[in-house]
């Protein structure tokens, strides 16, 4: 039924080359109104690049794009928006210093001349936001929101354009289970309104939840295009990876009785709208301690205090008995392996090449950089494109994440702090990162692992702490009896009897 | 007795207001320019041009009002040079601003030679002598139109920036020209408007200085006030409404210096004259420490230094 309709967008033999690299190679694909198309593939498969061709960010090297049956007039993002095509990127285009409301108003074509608080017409810009993210206060500055919340604002911005084609680039990689569910519902509603939705993803859960049709890309080529249900999950994974899926990496055995290596003592702090209220944790060498919680409950601030980016207002962070907390004005180089949130902004120098980025810590510490075998790290973490002289800024989000993981986990560390270390990674890369993280633990490092993926935490952490409202509300042994629901109850602050 | 106190208080207040008024216009203009992501060190030159041409027109026509208008126009015209260099030729903003300043310094020194020592017709007081002897009466009897006008301009600009679509467009351009363009705005056009508005306000500020405040022309009459305005923008954290207290504080410090000198304190007049600048510096340091976490600098301003 849907298949009979004239496609909104048609790609005909599209190719896009970056130098020698064919990021997209001879792709022909239709996008139809009222349909959710999942564009599935691993990092670097060319999914985002294909959609950026439609959005006008890159012109195609060969082939053509038809919009409503005519040659696409789109030459840039502004054109795309005028033609009813909206895209939510992994790397957002929100202005951090402005409020949520101002960000939405700036992108909204119907913004009235007077936008003050009393303007009823301006208030309508928030209609969609109140549906998809009712908890976000529109007057908050965007830089005080969690990544997940920012993505919902970005999505709201695109939907406000009344776009006919809504493209979402890895939307659920930064969302909690509850936020993801709300997103799925919203995507289905957009399709029911007659819009075309393209979901760029590497997660099968996204496909299961809301795709009508699945297009699989690998190595720049479209390898399959089929309706949901036509193939089994195993077949789909094999198409995507070109090989059978690897099994999950278990955590190393925990060595009981080891002394605490990383100690968080009564940490209090406040910055950018977040607070920490006396956080104490002790992580032994060889132990993996997971921190679960809905994004925006102080995890980012906690990570920045532990890593010495932010100074605590009280308490201390001790590594092997020595304080590593920030004092005074300048952040210092932390001795621990640190994978921060949003590596593009926080952990790489985009204008420097891969090799320099991998040796960045040696540079800061003034040591010999022999420990960082650049070629071996790139191979081990499968960073693509792999030339050490390539500028880091040209890498996809997933590959940047791998780059940071390679630098922070590729050499021995006394302790590791990983914030959402597998965000935006495909299945193969997830395995590599976990393997490296647990190898650090097996070698005696204390590992502090912040994640929103409860299944991963339950499968791999030795103990799990739950953060809510800037405090640790639960600290439990992951002894095999712990369940998702029990963690979920801690996260949302459900009554104790429900959690028990 | 009580009336004496009023007169003393009103005296300080009036002096502060009159000293701060030229600076209010310039700082407001520079704040608005910087909010769109452009820094204009040429305000010193634009202020100088406004002071010189404003004074010349006021003397020649006999109308101080025409003088003020001519000063604003002179500042606005000179700012077009900065706009052309920065937006058209993509010149370095710091270099371009200094060039504009130097050009104005030379030109006004040349044009202004004939006007040294000339007199202008002063602007009329806000109210006549029958306004009573209360604080307000004393105040308004000594004030001219530019002071309340400056207050009005600051409040209006602050409201406009926060509450209108056009104001939002300016803020967006200041945060990221790329995002502005993606949203269908024209950041270059916005910046041109902001530079010219900044030039008009700086020129007006200069004209208020020569025509209304000192009522004379002297070479380099602005004595770095334009550059001080650039510094005060930072102290005011790029918020138009904070321009008001910041400029008043500077004005008060300047008046205090004059009164201390008049009272015959035994100290170098050169050193005493640095007091307002030291006051600004202290506020800058204190304000910067407390505001370290709330980033208020327009993000695209940083690209100037890259």
Condensed to tens digits (0 to 9), the pLDDT of residues A195-253 reads 999 999 887 888 889 999 999 998 889 999 999 989 888 788 788 877 554 555 566 67
pLDDT confidence band for B131 (50 / 70 / 90) = low
Residue B205 has pLDDT above 80, yes or no: yes
Of all residues in chain B, what percent carry a pLDDT higher than 90? 59
- A126 CB-near residues (< 8 Å, 6+ apart): A101, A104, A138
For chain A positions 174-213, those within 8 Å of chain B (CB to CB) are: none
Neighbours of B91 (CB within 10 A): 15
Mean pLDDT of A87-111: 87
The answer to which of A2-11, A22-31, A64-73, A129-138 has the lowest mean pLDDT is A2-11
d(CA B259, CA A124): 56
- CB contact under 8 Å between B184 and A81, yes or no, is yes
Least confident piece of the model among B24-28, B92-96, B153-157:
B92-96
In this complex, the residue of B182, B185, B295 whose CB is nearest that of residue A97 is B295
Q: Is the pLDDT of residue A53 over 80?
A: yes
Confidence of residue A366 (pLDDT cuts 50, 70, 90): low
Per-residue pLDDT of B243-252, as tens digits, reads: 999 999 989 9
Q: What is the mean pLDDT of chain B?
A: 89
pLDDT of residue B25: 98
Residue span of the structural domain in which B261 resides: 2-305
Residues of A in contact with B169 (CB under 8 A): 106
Residue B49's pLDDT is: 97
The residue among A258 and A114 whose pLDDT is bigger is A114
pLDDT, residue A250, reads 63
State how beta strands A213-218 and A165-169 pair. Answer: unpaired
Domains of chain A: 7-241 (3.40.50.300), 260-492 (3.40.50.300)
- Is B288 a residue whose pLDDT tops 80? no
Residue B165's pLDDT is 95
Task: Spell out the alpha helix ranges (H) of A195-260.
Answer: 204-210, 233-241
Model pLDDT, residue A257:
66
Do A404 and A348 contact (CB within 8 A), yes or no? yes
- State how far residue B80 is from chain A, nearest Cα, in angstroms: 27
Q: State residue A496's pLDDT score.
A: 46
For the stretch A140-193, pLDDT in tens is 999 888 777 888 898 888 888 888 999 998 887 667 667 788 889 889 999 999
Mean pLDDT of the region B174-203: 92
Least confident segment among A378-382, B68-72, B204-208: A378-382
The reply to whether A431 touches chain B by the CB within 8 Å rule is: no
Q: Is the peptide bond before A385 cis (omega within 30 degrees of 0)?
A: yes
* CATH number assigned to the domain comprising residue B151: 1.10.3470
Of B183, B185, B299, the CB nearest to A97: B299
Q: For chain A, report the end-to-end CA distance as a whole number of angstroms.
A: 49
Q: What is the pLDDT of residue A279?
A: 92
Choose between A175 and A376: higher pLDDT.
A376
Q: What angle do CA B76, B22, B125 make, to 5 degrees?
A: 115
Q: What pLDDT was estimated at residue A499?
A: 39
Name the residue facing A78 among B171, B184, B296 (closest C-beta).
Answer: B184
Chain A closest-CA separation from residue B110 CA (Å): 45
Best interface-test mutation with A: which of B34, B36, B162, B175 has the largest number of A CBs within 10 A?
B175
Q: How many CB pairs under 8 A join A and B?
A: 60
What are residue B201's phi and psi, to 5 degrees?
Answer: -70, -40
pLDDT averaged over chain A?
A: 85
- H or E element, residue B297: none
Q: Is residue A102 within 8 angstroms of chain B, CB to CB? A: yes
Quick one: pLDDT band at residue A497, thresholds 50, 70, 90?
A: very low
Once rounded to an integer, what is the mean pLDDT over residues B233-242? 91
pTM: 0.71
Calculate how close chain B gets to A4, using CA atoms only, in Å: 34
Query: Taking a contact as any Cβ pair under 8 Å apart, which residues of chain A between 107 and 136 contact chain B?
Result: 107, 109, 111-116
Does ipTM top 0.95?
no
Interface of B with A (CB under 8 A): 162-166, 168-169, 171-172, 175-176, 178-185, 293, 295-296, 298-299
Count other C-beta atoms under 10 Å from residue B116's C-beta: 10
DSSP type of residue A353: B
Mean pLDDT of A260-272: 87
What pLDDT is stored for residue A36 in this prediction? 96
| Cross-chain Cβ contact B168/A102 below 8 Å | yes
Most A CBs within 10 A among B162, B171, B182, B301, hence the mutation to make, goes to B182
Q: Cβ atoms within 10 A of the Cβ of B262, count?
A: 8
Chain B residues lying within 8 Å of A111, measured CB to CB: 165, 168
Tell me the pLDDT band of A98, cut-offs 50, 70 and 90.
very high
A183: closest CA of chain B, how far (Å)? 24
Lowest mean pLDDT of A106-110, A233-237, A466-470, B112-116, name the range. A233-237
Give the tens place of pLDDT for each residue, B105-122: 999 999 999 898 899 999
What H or E segment, with its residue span, contains residue A289?
Answer: strand A288-292
Distance from CA of A109 to the nearest CA of B (A): 9
CA–CA min distance A81, chain B (Å): 8
Give the chain B residue nearest A96 (alpha carbons): B175
Question: At B285, which helix (H) or strand (E)?
Answer: helix B275-290
In this prediction, residue B149 carries a pLDDT of 95
Q: Which of A96, A115, A143 sits opposite B165 (nearest CB)?
A: A115
Closest CA to A408 of A468, A477, A357, A351: A357
Is residue A2 over pLDDT 60?
no
Count of domains for chain B: 1
Residues of B in contact with A82 (CB under 8 A): 184
Q: Per-residue pLDDT averaged across A293-318, rounded? A: 86
For the ranges A18-22, A164-168, A395-399, A461-465, which has the lowest average pLDDT? A18-22
Task: Compute φ and ψ for B71, nearest 5 degrees.
Answer: -60, -45
CA–CA distances in Å: residue A462 to residues A28, A455, B30, B305:
47, 13, 57, 48
pLDDT score of A498 more than 50 = no
Q: Structure tokens of A40? A: 């599935």
Q: Do A106 and B163 touch (CB under 8 A)?
A: no
In the predicted structure, residue B133 carries a pLDDT above the cut 70: no
Q: Percent of chain A beyond pLDDT 70?
A: 90
d(CA B243, CA B229): 9
Q: Where does the pLDDT of residue A112 fall: very low under 50, low under 70, confident under 90, or very high at 90 and above?
A: very high
The whole-number average pLDDT for the span B271-276 is: 80
**% residues pLDDT > 90 (chain A):** 31
Q: Which residue of B has its CA nearest to A122?
A: B165
Q: Check residue A249 and give its pLDDT.
A: 57
Q: Which of residues 34-93 of A touch B (CB under 8 A)?
A: 77-78, 81-82, 93
> Does residue A495 carry a pLDDT above 70?
no
Highest mean pLDDT out of A297-311, A420-434, B273-287: A297-311
Interatomic CA distance for residues A403 and A44, integer angstroms: 13
- At residue A5 the predicted structure's pLDDT band, cuts being 50, 70 and 90, is low
Q: In angstroms, rounded to a whole number, what is the distance separating the alpha carbons of residues A447 and A439?
A: 10
User: Pick the residue with more confidence: A272 or B210?
Assistant: B210
d(CA A5, CA A312): 59
Whether residue B28 contacts residue B90, with contact meaning beta carbons closer than 8 Å, is answered with no
């Amino acid at each position: 039924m849907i298949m009979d309709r004239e496609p909104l967008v048609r790609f005909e033999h599209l190719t896009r080359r970056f130098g020698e690299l064919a990021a997209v190679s001879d792709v022909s694909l239709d996008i139809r109104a009222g349909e959710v198309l999942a564009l599935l593939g691993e990092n670097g498969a060319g999914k985002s690049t294909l959609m950026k061709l439609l959005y006008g960010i890159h012109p195609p090297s060969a082939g053509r794009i038809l919009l409503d049956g005519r040659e696409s007039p789109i030459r840039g993002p502004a054109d795309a928006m005028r033609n009813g095509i909206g895209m939510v990127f992994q790397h957002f285009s929100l202005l951090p210093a402005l409020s949520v409301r101002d960000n939405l108003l700036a992108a909204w074509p119907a913004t009235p001349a007077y936008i003050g608080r009393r303007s009823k017409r301006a208030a309508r810009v928030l209609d969609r936001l109140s549906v998809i993210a009712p908890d976000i206060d529109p007057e908050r500055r965007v830089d005080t929101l969690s990544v997940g919340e920012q993505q919902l604002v970005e999505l709201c911005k695109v939907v406000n354009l009344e776009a006919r084609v809504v493209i979402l680039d890895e939307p659920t990689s930064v969302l909690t289970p509850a936020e993801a569910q709300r997103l799925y519902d919203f995507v289905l509603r957009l399709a029911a309104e007659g819009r075309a939705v393209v979901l760029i993803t590497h997660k099968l859960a996204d496909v299961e939840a809301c795709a009508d049709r699945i297009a699989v890309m690998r190595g720049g080529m479209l390898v399959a295009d089929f309706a949901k249900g036509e193939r089994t999950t195993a077949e789909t994974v094999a198409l995507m990876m070109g090989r059978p899926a690897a099994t999950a990496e278990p955590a190393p055995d925990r060595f009981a009785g080891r002394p605490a290596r990383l100690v968080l003592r009564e940490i209090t702090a406040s910055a950018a709208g977040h607070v920490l209220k006396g956080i104490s944790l002790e992580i032994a060498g060889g132990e993996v301690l997971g921190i679960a919680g809905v994004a925006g409950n102080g995890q980012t601030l906690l990570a920045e205090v532990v890593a010495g980016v932010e100074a605590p207002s009280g308490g201390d962070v001790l590594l092997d008995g020595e304080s590593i907390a920030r004092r005074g004005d300048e952040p210092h180089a932390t001795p621990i392996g640190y994978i921060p949130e949003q590596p593009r902004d926080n952990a790489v120098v985009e204008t420097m090449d891969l090799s320099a980025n991998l040796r960045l810590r040696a540079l800061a510490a003034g040591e010999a950089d022999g420990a960082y075998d650049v070629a071996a790290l790139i191979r081990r973490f499968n960073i693509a494109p792999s030339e050490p002289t390539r500028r880091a800024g040209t890498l996809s989000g997933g590959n940047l994440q791998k780059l940071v993981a390679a630098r922070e986990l590729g050499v021995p560390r006394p302790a590791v702090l990983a914030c959402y270390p597998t965000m935006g990674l495909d299945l193969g890369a997830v395995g590599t990162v976990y393997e490296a993280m647990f190898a650090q633990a097996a070698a005696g490092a204390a590992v502090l692992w912040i994640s929103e993926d409860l299944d991963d935490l339950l499968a791999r952490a030795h103990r799990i702490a739950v953060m809510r409202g800037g405090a640790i509300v639960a600290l439990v042994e992951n002894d095999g009896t712990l369940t998702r629901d029990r963690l979920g109850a801690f996260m949302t602050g459900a009554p104790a009897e429900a959690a028990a | 007795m009580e009336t004496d106190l009023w007169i003393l208080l009103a005296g300080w207040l009036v002096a502060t207001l009159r000293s701060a008024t030229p600076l209010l216009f310039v700082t407001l203009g520079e704040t608005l320019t910087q909010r769109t992501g452009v820094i204009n060190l040429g305000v010193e030159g634009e202020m100088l041009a406004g002071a010189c041409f404003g004074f010349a027109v006021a003397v020649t026509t006999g109308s101080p009002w025409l003088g003020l208008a001519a000063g604003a126009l002179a500042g606005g015209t000179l700012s077009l040079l900065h706009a052309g260099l920065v937006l058209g030729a993509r010149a370095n903003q710091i270099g371009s601003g200094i060039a504009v300043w130097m050009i104005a310094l030379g030109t006004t020194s040349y044009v202004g030679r004939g006007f040294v020592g000339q007199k202008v017709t002063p602007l009329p007081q806000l109210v006549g002598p029958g306004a009573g002897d209360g604080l307000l009466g004393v105040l308004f009897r000594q004030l001219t139109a530019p002071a309340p006008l400056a207050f009005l301009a600051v409040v209006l600009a602050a409201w406009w920036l926060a509450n209108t679509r056009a104001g939002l467009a300016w803020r967006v351009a200041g945060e990221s020209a790329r995002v502005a363009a993606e949203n269908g705005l024209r950041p270059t056009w916005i910046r041109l408007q902001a530079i010219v508005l900044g030039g008009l306000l700086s020129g007006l500020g200069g004209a208020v200085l020569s025509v209304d405040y000192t009522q004379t022309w002297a070479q380099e009459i602005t004595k770095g006030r334009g550059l001080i305005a650039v510094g005060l923008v930072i102290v005011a954290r790029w918020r138009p409404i904070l321009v008001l207290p910041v400029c008043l504080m500077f004005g008060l410090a300047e008046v205090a210096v004059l009164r201390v000198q008049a009272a015959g304190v035994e100290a170098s007049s050169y050193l005493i004259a640095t007091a307002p600048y030291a006051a600004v510096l202290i506020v800058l340091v204190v304000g910067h420490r407390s505001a370290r976490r709330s980033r208020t600098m327009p993000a695209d301003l940083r690209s100037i230094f890259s």
